[in-house]
Structure 1
Amino acid sequence: MKKHLLAALVATGLTAPLVQADTILGVYAGIEGWQSQTTGSFAQGNNLETFDFEDETLTSFYVALEHPIPLVPNIKIKHNELEVVGSTTLTEGFKFGDTVFQVNSEAGTVSDLSHNDYVLYYEIFDNDLLSIDLGFNIKDIDGSISVSGTDGVATITEEESFSAYVPLGYAAAEVGIPMTDFSVFFEGSLLAIDDSKIQDFQVGVAWEVIDNMAVDVAVKFGYRSLVMELDDVDDISTDLEVKGPFMGVQVHF
């Protein structure tokens, strides 16, 4: 699955929505801290090697613009920090870059899968009790993976970079709890094609702590899971899952 083939899928697009709910211009900005646990494997080619990854506190931040113009989608841009560190004892020789790391030796990795989400979406419903958004998300992945270990003679570090634009279907929903300042929400993106799959979703509760004519402020907490199964993207394959609780703050102007 090469970058230009993934990008071509954007041409499938989405049909125009029946309802564009926004009546005023709105700007949303937020930041989230994610206490993540990572499991899985990666390879250059198909010989996947499993690593034991350390737990990490990762950060995401985003800004979204919603407007009342019919047929023109709203936009959300989100940056996702995703750098994880791991190690393993190799049970067989592991080729990465130009090096074959020796069997029974210790190998370490720093895997940087940080990426940006570019979300175009329409508001299907938008009121105090229910909001539903539908659209698509383009994940702009520009990552790198390094492996350190021994080839039996010397300690060597190999680093490989890869990039892809991956289009995913996108959906979000929020349901307000009557007579309270709380709501429950879901947000998710999904792509499954051939042997590759990306699944990124979060569910949680939002508490609106400030609500006035000038600004709304909400505290959000919940659970996020990101599955990244890439098959031969710039000769890199991954089978990784990052999951755990998160907490954030969102401001609406």
Structure 2
Amino acid sequence: MKKTLLATTLLGLLSISSAQASTLVGFKVGGDYWQADTSGSFNSDDGVAQTYNYDSDAQGSVWIAIEHPIPLVPNIKIRENRLEGKGSQANSDFTFNDHQFSGATTAYNDLSNTDFVLYYEILDNDIVALDLGAAYKQMHGSIRVQDPGHPEEVDVDSGIVMAYANAEVGVPGLGLYAFADVMLGIDESSVYDINAGLGWKFDGIALDTAIRVGYREFKFDVDDFSSTTQNMSFKGAFAGLELTF
């Protein structure tokens, strides 16, 4: 009898320990499809802004977040953002990267980047959730200008220190929530990446699923950043999915 009771107690303790271990670290993975309108300009070698007629195109983001209950240690989120704009100009007459362009030209402005975010959960309940932290947006794109016979390209590969905030306001029992995700440039104060919208959460046994729709804008207004000066904007509606383990 004592052996049976001891075995049952040990089994119960092991089950509790296993459950606690499984909730010690949480993972979120997700992705957004973003139909963005692209507009803006970049400067030629003489400092004159060159405006192109950019196509509206599909952009995208994927991310993973790792959350834990360890005090003072921030959670981490890594998000990869694909941002590519293609534009045309009929009557070019400027110098870019020491090459003279004239007539019809095409510009390819790649502002793809990776966000590295460290944040703390300030609030976390069914009604209000709030995360605050800091981020580093690492650019890994380029500006390429070409006419029918010659291309010139300049890499855009510097980084930006940013403030980060994420907020959610939910309706208990319905799974419906509103959200806003904000990144504001610190060393580049005219750069921001913001989105807001509505989501629906569905609780599962092994994972929770959230469907998201909203509006996002990325503003990239910089002066002598990776040897480029430009003022570009990507904005439009998006839809996405997030899984929580």
Alignment TM class, shorter chain as reference: 0.7 to 0.9
Instruction: Calculate percent identity across the aligned residue pairs.
Output: 37
Quick check: 1:185–1:206 contact (8 Å CA) kept in 2?
yes
SS at match of 2:158: strand
CA distance in 2, matches of 1:160, 1:220: 35
What are the Cα deviations for residues 155-204 of structure 1, in whole angstroms up to 9, with x where unaligned?
3211111311111000000010234121000001001557x511100001
Higher helix fraction: Structure 1 or Structure 2?
Answer: 2
Q: Is the 8 A contact 2:130 2:167 kept in 1?
A: yes
Whether the aligned pair in 1 keeps the contact of 2:32 and 2:62 (CA below 8 Å) is yes
Aligned residues between the structures: 222
Q: What is the rounded CA distance, in whole Å, between the counterparts of 1:156 and 1:60 in structure 2?
A: 32
User: Which residue of structure 1 lines up, in the alignment, with residue 221 of structure 2?
Assistant: 229
Q: TM-score, normalised by structure 2?
A: 0.86
Note the C-alpha offset of 1:24.
3.7
- Partners of 1:27 and 1:67 in 2: how far apart? 9
Contact 1:44 1:235 in 2 (8 A): no
| Residue 165 (structure 1) aligns with | 159
2:168 is aligned with 1:174: yes
Instruction: Find the counterpart in structure 1 of residue 107 from structure 2.
Output: 109
| TM-score (ref. length: structure 1) | 0.83
Alignment of 1:115-130 (within 5 A): 115-130=113-128
Instruction: Report what 1:202 is aligned to.
Output: 195
- Counterpart mapping for 1:1-253 below 5 A: 24-45=24-45, 46-90=47-91, 93-102=93-102, 105-149=103-147, 155-191=149-185, 193=187, 197-208=190-201, 210-253=202-245
CA drift of 1:107 comes to: 1.4
- The separation in 2 between residues aligned to 1:43 and 1:169, in whole angstroms, is 27
User: 1:216-238, CA deviations, whole angstroms, 9 ceiling, x for partnerless residues?
Assistant: 00110100000001110121111
5+ long unaligned stretches in structure 1: 1-22
Aligned equivalents of 2:71, 2:186: Cα separation in 1 = 30
Bigger radius of gyration: 2
| Change in 2 beyond 3 A, CA 1:124/1:249 | same
**Higher RCO, 1 or 2 (CA under 8 Å, sep at least 6)?**
1
Counterpart CA distance in 2 for 1:156 and 1:216 is 51
| Unpaired segments ≥5 residues, structure 2 | 1-22
Q: CA deviation at 1:25?
A: 1.8
2:193/2:218 contact within 8 Å kept: yes
Q: Determine the C-alpha separation between the residues in 2 that align with 1:220 and 1:129.
A: 17
| SS in structure 2 at match of 1:205 | strand
> How many Å separate the matches in 2 of 1:205 and 1:68?
27
